[in-house]
């Protein structure tokens, strides 16, 4: 039977379950990646598993998020990460070497392999033909220990590409078009697989822009075949021998299909405050820009920056627009310099930032109050830039550079014919910022600064749950609402008691205080609750504040897994209209929840004692998930099992 590429890779890695959409499967993980903001927790968890050396083919620890060192916290975290990597067989990519996804694509990605990363944009490596998924740090820790990664076997959406992008239209416009069609929850439970004759017209960095931002669809991952373009890219990276061609079989089946004629796409922009709020750039020409930011794991390749350099040559950015640029990796920066591409950018008045996430995660460059900022990034959620009333728009590097010159959102076709970009024929490849693990791990001492606090663990699930609805929120609540990031909060990623003070602070400044006073309770959410990042802090910190269960219309994949991993029960409404009846501050009770989980029943009644009503909620968990919830989370369960084995 012909197979699509996704199912070929899944089949080759399957260790548990059956490949039927929706059924839980366990797959073997070849590579893992972590970044510093999620990595400290992941390695603390890995250490608690008591395994000496990672069991994967390759594990890499990147430092790219918390790179501002305004106090000791981030620097301490980096030192911990470097020493723990050396001790346990993990490669360490030093701060300044670049954004994890860009560096993994350049230096490590291998077609046909699986990659699990503690970052939601891990699917970037789908651009080189990897099956690459984001997950919480604990799931990545388990994969580093050699355990399978569990997920719902996905549906596969085939996106048939034909034609060729028109001048000034970029790969970003392809994914913005998909987002416009499918919306931010359109990818739930699905892998987006690109195929068709249009694929060959796209370079690996272009493909990686598309797979990267597939995360904003809520998709499990996105993937491209590995073809001559992939081989070319890998040869340039001096890794040609790792290439192997991979594609779906001819006439492979897809669960759903979409067609895109690349030649019909136009320059697009996502408007505040959601990546699926997409319109044509030409319709936004009245938006004056205080800021343009170029970079992030979506659009910071050498190809992107060389194009920008050519457009800026002998020009100046608009005097009222602050323009910043962060290259995706040290390799990109080094080659940009060598090819003469940096000088025109600097001369044009662009502010050059280090090769890191930077403004994308609110690490600097917050826009002025109430101002519009145009960014080549992938997320424009409320408050993420660090300025709550800023209006953040997302676009391609082509739209960004044209807009930087004009000081307002500009369709780049206004600039006339695009310049020809001469890409270097050879690249400087220098891995000296990637440190291999220690040869003698016994000699390595893991360094823990005062910011690194132990991972809190929950007690076993109580027989029944009772408490107040602490907060009721609408559809598409992001992890940036639940556990905001930014330069002020990110330094506490290794310190759950400290970071928990900021839970839901974008929505309500006093949430943490109230949650503690009430000794925890419930949150009620709409569709796609917890979309966005993989940060398990959005489960761990609410758990620390006493959150017992979340009642929602539906959940985003990674966040739902994180809630279960930390013993918070994610319940979905059987009748979504029940959502309308619950009010914030209502008292809820879930009698005999633990028994229901033990018995494996499909639904349970939640009593609203304030309104004298009850709601039927789904309990459709797998037996593995039920065990985790009963134990109070995966760490407890692992310890319970280890205890049982040693008796
Ligand atoms: C993001 O883009 O939101 C992040 C910051 O990279 C997160 C990870 C984190 O919160 O540390 C992600 O995408 O998973
Ligand atoms: Fe970093 Fe932004 Fe990419 Fe997240 S989306 S990994 S913060 S560059």
Please give the distance, rounded to the nearest whole angstrom, from the Cα atom of residue 560 to the centre of ligand 2. Answer: 21
Note if the pTM is more than 0.95: yes
| 398-445: pLDDT as tens digits | 999 999 999 999 999 999 999 999 999 999 999 999 999 999 999 999
Q: Which atom of ligand 2 is found nearest the CA of 379?
A: 5
Mean pLDDT over each residue of the chain, to the nearest integer:
97
**What size, in residues, is the chain?**
647
pLDDT tens figures, 102-146: 999 999 999 999 999 999 999 999 999 999 999 999 999 999 999
Could you tell me what percent of the chain has a pLDDT over 90?
A: 97
Q: How high is the pLDDT of residue 638?
A: 85
Cβ of residue 199 lying under 6 Å from some atom of ligand 1: no
Say how many CA atoms lie within 13 Å of 242 toward its Cβ: 20
Angstrom CA distances, 621 to 97, 137, 230, stand at: 41, 21, 39
- Ligand 2 atom 7, closest CA: 361
Ligand nearest to the CA of 40: 1
Our answer on whether the CB atom of 540 is closer than 6 Å to any ligand 2 atom is no
pLDDT for residue 641: 85
Q: Identify the nearest ligand to the CA of 484 by its number.
A: 1
482 close to ligand 1 (CB < 6 Angstrom): no
Ligand 1: centre distance to CA 216 (Å):
12
Of the candidates 140, 171, 75, 62, the one whose C-alpha atom is nearest the C-alpha of residue 106 is 62
Q: What share of the chain in percent tops pLDDT 70?
A: 100
Any idea which residues carry the catalytic annotation? 64-65, 119, 379, 533, 535
Q: Averaged over 85-113, what is the pLDDT?
A: 98
Q: Tokens 């070849």 — which residue?
A: 30
Q: What is the pLDDT of residue 642?
A: 76
Query: CA angle, 158 as apex, 156 and 160 as ends, to 5°?
Result: 170
* Domains by residue range for the chain, with CATH: 5-264 (3.30.499.10), 268-414 (3.30.499.10), 465-646 (3.20.19.10)
- Reference 248, options 199, 213, 214; nearest CA is 199
In a mutational test of the pocket of ligand 2, which residue from 33, 63, 65, 98 has the highest number of ligand atoms less than 8 Å from its CB? 65
Is 70 exceeded by the pLDDT of residue 647? no
1 Cα to the center of ligand 1, angstroms: 38
Rounded Cα distance between 364 and 356, Å, is 11
Nearest to 293 by CA among 220, 352, 344: 352
Angle at 31 between CA 28 and CA 34, to 5 degrees: 120
Question: CB of 133 closer than 6 A to ligand 1?
Answer: no
* Span from the CA of 379 to the centroid of ligand 2 (angstroms): 9
Ligand 1 touching residue 533 (CB < 6 A): yes
Residue 49 parent element (H or E): helix 36-49
Query: C-alpha 316: how far from its chain's center?
Result: 34
Contact indicator for 459, 465 with CB cutoff of 8 Å? no
Q: Is the pLDDT of residue 646 over 70?
A: no
pLDDT tens-digit series, residues 252-293: 999 999 999 999 999 999 999 999 999 999 999 999 999 999
The alpha carbon of 65 and the centre of ligand 2 are apart by a number of angstroms equal to 7
Please give the pLDDT value at position 622.
96
């Amino acid at each position: 039977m012909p197979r699509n590429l996704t199912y070929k890779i899944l089949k080759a890695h399957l260790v548990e379950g059956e490949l039927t959409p929706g059924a839980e499967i366990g797959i073997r993980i070849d590579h893992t990646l972590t970044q510093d903001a999620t990595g400290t927790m992941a390695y603390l968890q890995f250490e608690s598993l008591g395994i000496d050396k990672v069991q994967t083919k390759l594990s890499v620890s990147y430092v790219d998020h918390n790179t501002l060192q305004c106090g000791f916290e981030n620097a301490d975290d980096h030192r911990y990460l470097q020493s723990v990597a050396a001790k346990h067989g993990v490669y360490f990519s030093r701060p300044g070497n670049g954004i994890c996804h860009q560096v993994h694509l350049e230096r490590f990605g291998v077609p046909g392999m699986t990659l699990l990363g503690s970052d939601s944009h891990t699917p970037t490596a789908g651009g080189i033909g990897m099956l690459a998924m984001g997950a919480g740090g604990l799931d990545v820790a388990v994969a580093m220990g050699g355990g399978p990664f569990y997920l719902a076997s996905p549906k596969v959406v085939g996106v048939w590409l034909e034609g060729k992008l028109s001048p000034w239209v970029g790969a970003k416009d392809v994914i913005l078009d998909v987002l416009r069609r499918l919306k931010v929850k359109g990818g739930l439970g699905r892998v987006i697989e690109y195929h068709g004759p249009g694929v060959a017209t796209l370079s690996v960095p272009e493909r990686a822009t598309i797979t990267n931002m597939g995360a904003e669809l809520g998709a499990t991952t996105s993937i491209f075949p590995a073809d001559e373009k992939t081989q070319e890219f890998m040869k340039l990276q001096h890794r040609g021998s790792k290439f192997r061609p991979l594609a779906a079989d001819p006439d492979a089946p897809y669960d759903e299909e979409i067609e895109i004629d690349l030649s019909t796409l136009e320059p697009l922009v996502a408007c505040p405050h959601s990546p699926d709020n997409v319109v044509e750039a030409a319709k936004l020409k009245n938006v004056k820009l205080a800021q343009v930011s170029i970079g992030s794991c979506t659009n910071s390749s050498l190809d992107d920056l060389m194009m920008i350099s050519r457009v800026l040559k002998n020009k100046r950015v608009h005097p009222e627009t602050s323009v910043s640029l962060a290259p995706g990796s040290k390799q990109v920066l080094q080659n940009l310099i060598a090819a003469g591409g940096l000088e025109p950018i600097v001369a044009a008045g662009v502010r050059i930032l280090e090769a890191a996430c930077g403004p994308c995660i609110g690490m600097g460059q917050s826009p002025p109050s109430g101002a519009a900022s145009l960014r080549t990034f992938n997320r424009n959620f409320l408050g993420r830039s660090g300025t709550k009333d800023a209006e953040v728009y997302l676009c391609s590097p082509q739209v960004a550079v044209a807009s930087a010159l004009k000081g307002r959102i500009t369709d780049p076709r206004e600039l006339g014919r695009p310049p020809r970009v001469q890409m270097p024929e050879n690249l400087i490849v220098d891995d000296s910022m990637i440190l291999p693990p220690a040869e003698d791990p016994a000699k390595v001492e893991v360094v823990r600064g005062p910011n690194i606090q132990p991972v809190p663990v929950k007690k076993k699930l109580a027989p029944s749950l009772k408490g107040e609805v602490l907060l009721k929120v609408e559809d598409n609540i992001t992890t940036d609402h639940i556990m905001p990031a930014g330069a002020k909060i990110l330094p506490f990623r290794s310190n759950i008691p400290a970071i928990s003070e900021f839970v839901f602070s974008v929505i309500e400044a006093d949430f943490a205080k109230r949650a503690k006073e009430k000794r925890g309770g419930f949150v009620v959410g709409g569709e796609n609750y917890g979309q966005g990042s993989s940060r398990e802090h959005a489960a761990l910190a609410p758990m620390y504040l006493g959150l017992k269960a979340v009642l929602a219309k539906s959940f985003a994949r990674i966040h739902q897994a994180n809630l279960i991993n930390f013993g918070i029960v994610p319940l979905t409404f059987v009748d979504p209209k029940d959502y309308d009846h619950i009010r914030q501050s209502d008292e809820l009770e879930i009698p005999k929840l633990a028994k229901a989980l033990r018995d494996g029943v499909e639904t349970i009644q939640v009593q609203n004692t304030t309104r004298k009503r009850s709601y039927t909620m789904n309990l459709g968990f797998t037996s593995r998930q039920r065990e985790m919830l009963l134990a109070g989370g995966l760490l407890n369960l692992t310890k319970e099992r280890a205890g049982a084995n040693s008796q």
